[in-house]
Amino acid sequence: MNLLGIFGNLQAGLRKKVPVVLQNEAAECGLACICMVASFHGHEIDLRQLRQRFLVSLKGTTLANLIEIGSHLKLTARPLSLELDEVRHLQLPCILYWSFNHFVVLERVRSSSVEIVDPALGRSTVEWKELSKHFTGVALELTPNPEFKRAKRKEKLRVRELTGRIVGLKRSLSQIFLLAIAIEVCTIVTPLFVQWVTDEALVTGDEQLVLTSSVAVNYGSKMSTKGWPVQSEAIHAAVTARDATRKAYTLGVKINVDVLDAEDRLYAARTDSIRATFDALQSEVKLKRLTTDLTEYYGAELNRDIYGETKVP
């Protein structure tokens, strides 16, 4: 085993493990492997980001596609054709072409087995005998080049990003805040007012002042205990209904845009499959026409040889 292979195995076995990224579609195994290798080297990226940047057809990705994607991520690709006993010399982690229709990441090589990360199944241990049944002899090493940059994975989609900007939120919050201040002022002023009436009106015996103060205190108490809460609930309900309507409208527009964008990518990914189907149908029609023409031609030649003339059917 050369020094490069030893270093790769030590790096994969001692420092950290390859992050598991599972594919969402059968054709995304190559993208998932690139995502795992890039994340292992420090460029954290998820499958959704790769899917948006690199369109994958229903036929899946080829080795050339993986090399191209790796170059965009500043990963130097080294495609190799090797025998089974040479697998232990690979620089890990690397990508193996599996069963002629799949890609997996080779994470660790042991004396009796290897560890792979299958985008369809996850991490697993495979014996050498089982490996010989699936390994096709093709591997792809991906190593960071001098332009490679580490990057943290972007945060997951937030609710705020989905709903967008809520119009009128600050105004509604300010109204609720002012209403709360008014209620607190009434709650604080009412006991002070009662104390003032007790100290001034009752001591001086001013009946008119006592009557007026009683009416004011009674009205203020009702406003504090009944009026303001009712008004607060009404305003809060109106504000909530208005905000809910705006949120629903904004969310609906946002989701519709995202769905249309996803459908556009979905149809684009399947264009080549539809085109291939039409090409096959056209080829079949051309073949039938050619067969008919040849049949008519050789039939006429046969008639000429037998009867000495061409018989028109």
Choose, from 29, 33, 35, 94, the residue flagged as catalytic: 29
Give dist(CA 117, CA 107) in Å, integer: 7
Give dist(CA 119, CA 203) in Å, integer: 89
HSE at residue 171, side-chain half, CA atoms within 13 A, is: 8
For 164, the token pair is 């967008």
Amino acid, res. 195: Q
**Pick from 110, 89, 106, 112: nearest CA to 36:** 106
Give the burial class of 203: count Cβ atoms within 10 A of its Cβ; 0-12 exposed, 13-18 middle, 19 or more buried.
exposed
Active site residue 29: yes
Give dist(CA 253, CA 184) in Å, integer: 40
**Pick from 224, 199, 220, 223: nearest CA to 210:** 199
Which residues lie below 8 Å from residue 293, measured CB to CB, with a gap of 6+? none
HSE at residue 197, side-chain half, CA atoms within 13 A, is: 18
Catalytic residue positions? Answer: 29
